[in-house]
Amino acid sequence: MRVTICAVGRLRSGPEKDLIDDYLARFDRTGRAMGLGPARVVEIEDRKGGGMAAEADLLRRAIPRGAVRCALDERGKILSSPTWAKRIADWRDRGVGDLAILIGGADGLDPALRAEMDFSLSLGAMVWPHMLVRVMLSEQLYRASTILAGGPYHRV
């Protein structure tokens, strides 16, 4: 199952990008044998200043056809890492070929786009900078693959 992180905004070179690249490469290596990956990031930018609705249209175009759509949203479900890993495995085992995880802009995701999602995930009640959200999501994807592989990375 391929994973596409669809995110509003551009990430410049720096420590956050290095961490994301590292965790996604680890996810690809660990997940390959289990039918997970590759993972990629698709960045969109509303250069015309159309707000959340324009961002939503650009995000819709970034979602692979037929993908399960998962929003990162503060109103979403808060899952433990093992439960997130099980959710990913369940999608894979149901034959889902693509998982798209959406990260909105500064104002979040457009409500109409949120309503279209198959699942909504929260990384907690706190608000995080979008670049750190990408890092945390990338790490949780890697952690999920190690949990599913029975590796020692995740400790209870």
pLDDT tens by residue, 131-143: 899 999 999 999 9
pLDDT average, residue stretch 46-64: 92
Residue 23 has pLDDT above 70, yes or no: yes
Please report the pLDDT score of residue 46 as a whole number. 81
Cα separation, 19 vs 148, in Å, equals 21
What mean pLDDT comes out for the span 100-106? 95
Domains and CATH numbers, the chain: 2-149 (3.40.1280.10)
pLDDT at 50: 85
Q: Quick one: which H or E segment has residue 54?
A: helix 51-62
Looking at residues 43-58, what average pLDDT do you find? 90
What proportion of the chain, given as a percentage, has pLDDT over 90? 85
